[in-house]
Structure 1
Amino acid sequence: MDSHSKPCVTILGAGNSLGVYMPAVQLGIYLERSGISNEVCVLENVYVDGVKNKVPAYRKAFHDNFAIARKSVELARDISDCLDPTKVQLLLEDWSRERRTSFIALTGFWIPILEQYERFVGTRLEVDMLHLDATLSPSYLVYGSRSERYNHIWFYEPTKKRFELQLPMTDEAPIPFRQREERMVVHGGGWGIGTYPQAVQDLLEGGMELDVLAYFDEDIKPDPRICYYRNDPSWSPWLRNRRGEFGFPPFAQIQHGETPIYLDSGTVPLLFERIRRCTAIVSKPGGYSLMESFAAATPMVFLEPFGRHETANAEYWTKQGFGVSFTDWKTQGFNIEILERAHCNLLHAREHCKTYGGVNYATQNESEV
Structure 2
Amino acid sequence: MSQENVTLLCSGASLGAYIPALIASHQLSDRGIASDVVVLENILLENKRNNVSETKFAFHRNFSLALMAQKLAKDITPSIDPDLTSHLLATWKHQERKRFMIFSGFWLPIANRYLQETDSEDIAIDLCHMDASVSTSWKMYDTTHPAFRHVWFFNWEDKRLSYIFCVSDDEPVSYNQRSNRFLIHGGGWGVGTYKSKVPKLVHQGIKLDIIAYEQQDIENKTEHSRYFLIDPTWKPWEKNAQGHHQFPPFGEVKDDGNITFQNSQPYPEVYNLIRQSSGIISKPGGGTLLDSLSAATPLVWLAPYGDYEKNNGLLWEYLGFGISYEKWADSGYSLDILERLHLNLKQARASLPRYLTNYVETYYPEMITEPLIVLSEVT
TM-score bracket, shorter-length normalisation: over 0.9
- Residue type matched to 2:134 in 1? L
Q: Which residue of 2 aligns with 1:225?
A: 224
In structure 2, relative to structure 1, the CA distance for the partners of 1:85 and 1:133 (3 Å cut) is same
Q: Which residue of 2 aligns with 1:105?
A: 102
* Contact 2:132–2:156 (CA under 8 A) maintained in structure 1: yes
* Contact 1:251–1:265 (CA under 8 A) maintained in structure 2: no
- Residue type matched to 1:237 in 2? P
Q: Which shifted more, 159-168 or 322-331?
A: 159-168
Unaligned residue ranges in structure 2 (runs of 5+):
none
Q: Which residue of 2 aligns with 1:151?
A: 149
Q: 1:171 aligns with which of 169, 172, 183?
A: 169
Q: How does 1:33-182 map to 2 (within 5 A)?
A: 33-124=30-121, 125-144=123-142, 150-160=148-158, 162-182=160-180
Q: How does 1:5-16 map to 2 (within 5 A)?
A: 6-16=3-13
| Distance in 1 separating the partners of 2:186 and 2:93 | 39
* Contact 1:27–1:168 (CA under 8 A) maintained in structure 2: no
Q: CA deviation at 1:19?
A: 0.6
Q: How does 1:166-315 map to 2 (within 5 A)?
A: 166-220=164-218, 221-315=220-314
| Distance in 2 separating the partners of 1:255 and 1:71 | 36
Q: CA deviation at 1:95?
A: 1.1
- Please give the TM-score of this superposition, normalised by the length of structure 1: 0.95
* Contact 1:127–1:359 (CA under 8 A) maintained in structure 2: no
Identity %: 36
Name the SS of the counterpart of 1:366 in structure 2: coil
| Distance in 1 separating the partners of 2:144 and 2:60 | 32
| Distance in 2 separating the partners of 1:32 and 1:145 | 28
- Residue type matched to 1:87 in 2? L
| Distance in 1 separating the partners of 2:215 and 2:145 | 41
| Distance in 2 separating the partners of 1:253 and 1:346 | 28
| Distance in 2 separating the partners of 1:159 and 1:74 | 22
1:19 aligns with 2:16: yes
Name the SS of the counterpart of 1:8 in structure 2: strand
In structure 2, relative to structure 1, the CA distance for the partners of 1:161 and 1:189 (3 Å cut) is closer
In structure 2, relative to structure 1, the CA distance for the partners of 1:20 and 1:147 (3 Å cut) is farther
* Contact 1:66–1:193 (CA under 8 A) maintained in structure 2: yes
| Distance in 1 separating the partners of 2:333 and 2:158 | 30
1:32 aligns with 2:29: yes
| Distance in 2 separating the partners of 1:74 and 1:53 | 22
| Distance in 1 separating the partners of 2:209 and 2:344 | 24
| Distance in 2 separating the partners of 1:6 and 1:159 | 39
* Contact 2:185–2:211 (CA under 8 A) maintained in structure 1: yes
In structure 2, relative to structure 1, the CA distance for the partners of 1:144 and 1:312 (3 Å cut) is farther
| Distance in 2 separating the partners of 1:98 and 1:88 | 15
In structure 2, relative to structure 1, the CA distance for the partners of 1:161 and 1:116 (3 Å cut) is closer
Q: Which residue of 2 aligns with 1:366?
A: 372
- Please give the TM-score of this superposition, normalised by the length of structure 2: 0.92
Unaligned residue ranges in structure 1 (runs of 5+):
none
In structure 2, relative to structure 1, the CA distance for the partners of 1:158 and 1:222 (3 Å cut) is closer
Alpha-carbon deviations, 1:154-204, whole Å to 9, x = none? 111235464341113111111100111110000000000000011112211
| Distance in 1 separating the partners of 2:54 and 2:374 | 40
Q: Which shifted more, 247-256 or 47-56?
A: 247-256
Q: CA deviation at 1:359?
A: 4.6
- Residue type matched to 2:301 in 1? F
| Distance in 1 separating the partners of 2:145 and 2:197 | 38
CA RMSD across the alignment: 1.8
Name the SS of the counterpart of 1:203 in structure 2: helix
| Distance in 2 separating the partners of 1:55 and 1:368 | 40
1:345 aligns with 2:351: no
